[in-house]
Amino acid sequence: MMSLRLFCFPYGGAGASGYRAWARDLPAGVEIVPVNFPGRETRFREAPYTHLDPLLAELVRTLDFGGRFAFFGHSLGALVAFELARELRRQRKPAPSLLVVSGYPAPHLHRDRPHVAHLSHDDFVATLRAHFDVNDELLDDPILAEMALPVLRADLAIVETYAYREEPPLDLPLVAFGGVGDPEASEEQIRGWQAQSTRPVRVRMFPGGHFFVNVQRQAVLDEIALALRSHS
């Protein structure tokens, strides 16, 4: 039986608790470890990070990387998972046995997206509507918006202040998922992840736009299960 912990990192504006339900659709012996960032769910009273480096420092300090483990991240979570794998390498700590990145362009490529974290509330909301795959229900509901938008703004600030640093590719299996028609990451940008691993990168494109990870949940889980079994 496979024995492995799958650390799951959330997308912008979201918490990680929803990943817990994945366990029943993954191979026996896979333990889901949802990783919550400050500002959401049980950590809602904490100020969210607006830069990546302090978040990485917290994750290296607080997560247990003993035994076999793998990383999954969608959108912002993909960037965090990738850079956490590189930070573990820099510190000569254990490496994940598999990295699954989802809904985020290969980080060395130019990200041609409007910067929004600095905008006023009205301009921020208007730009989200025009250029991002954000649920209108969230933007139209004042209570939901009051809770979620500050965290989303902080998460977008992490992405917008991120500066890729040239380093050798990771020597580990890497799988990259993308959404057909996703404004956040084109198929070409998803395929660009090949440059970040010394091994052949498996690319899988799903219908459903940026949130294909929810729309195509079972297909995504099937692909993760396949990847876990292939690299167990």
Nearest to 89 by CA among 183, 196, 199, 171: 171
Residue scoring higher pLDDT (164 or 14): 164
Q: What is the mean pLDDT of the chain?
A: 93
Half-sphere exposure of residue 87: CA atoms within 13 angstroms, side-chain side: 19
Half-sphere exposure of residue 120: CA atoms within 13 angstroms, side-chain side: 2
Domain residues of the chain, as ranges?
A: 4-230
Q: Among residues 75, 97, 120, 230, which one is catalytic?
A: 75
Q: How confident is the model at residue 85 (pLDDT cuts 50, 70, 90)?
A: very high
Catalytic site includes residue 120: no
Residue 97: how many other CB atoms lie within 10 Å: 16
pLDDT per position as a tens digit, 44-68? 899 999 999 999 999 999 999 999 9
Domain 4-230, CATH: 3.40.50.1820
Distance of CA 61 to the CA centre of its chain: 19
* The predicted structure's pLDDT at residue 1: 53
pTM: 0.94
Tell me the C-alpha distance between 228 and 100, whole Å: 10
Q: How confident is the model at residue 176 (pLDDT cuts 50, 70, 90)?
A: very high
